[in-house]
Amino acid sequence: MTQVIYYEDVNVGDAMPELVKGPLQKLQHVMYAGASGDFNPLHTDDDFAKAVGMKDGVIAHGMLIMGIVGQAITGWIPRKDLKKFGVRFAGMTKPGNTISVTGSVTDKRVDDGKNIIVCEVAAKDENGDVKVTGTFEAALPSKA
């Protein structure tokens, strides 16, 4: 099944489908370290993490949470239509957190012949604490 979303079918204020993942496991930090090449022990070694002030031990890679936001985006908008994606890392994610990614369309414009939608996204944990906020832009096909 080919995933297509047309510019005309997306409106300012529309919500993107919510993605909920968790509870996150320490094992995922190990997998992400190996896949990404980010071996900072803050994410995989509880003793190290405690020694640098994280009283509960390891925290997730921020880029893992950005990756989960990316999963939410390209689960909705085709990967090939995604043109820009940026985040600000706002809070630390711990093992056991369940992450919810939500977003909505904030703007639509035709720019240089391209049909651009602009969306804001956020990832929060089960307590509503914000981990990541960001925006993305996609160029969608038109029915015209």
Q: Which residues bind another protein (CB under 8 A)?
A: 2-3, 21, 28, 31-32, 34-38, 52, 62-64, 66-68, 70-71, 73-75, 78-80, 82-89
Contacts 24+ apart (CB under 8 A), 130-133: 130/90, 130/91, 131/65, 131/89, 131/90, 131/91, 131/92, 131/93, 131/97, 131/99, 132/62, 132/65, 132/66, 132/69, 132/87, 132/88, 132/89, 132/90, 133/87, 133/88, 133/90
Nearer to another protein, 9 or 39 (CB): 39
Q: How far is the CB of 103 from another protein (least distance, A)?
A: 13
Listed in sequence order, the residues at least 6 apart from 77 whose beta carbon sits closer than 8 Å to its beta carbon are: 5, 16, 136, 138, 140
- Cβ atoms within 10 Å, residue 99: 23
Q: How far is the CB of 36 from another protein (least distance, A)?
A: 5
Write out the two tokens for 86. Answer: 């940026």
Q: How far is the CB of 58 from another protein (least distance, A)?
A: 15
Q: How far is the CB of 67 from another protein (least distance, A)?
A: 4
Nearer to another protein, 7 or 81 (CB): 81
Q: How far is the CB of 16 from another protein (least distance, A)?
A: 14
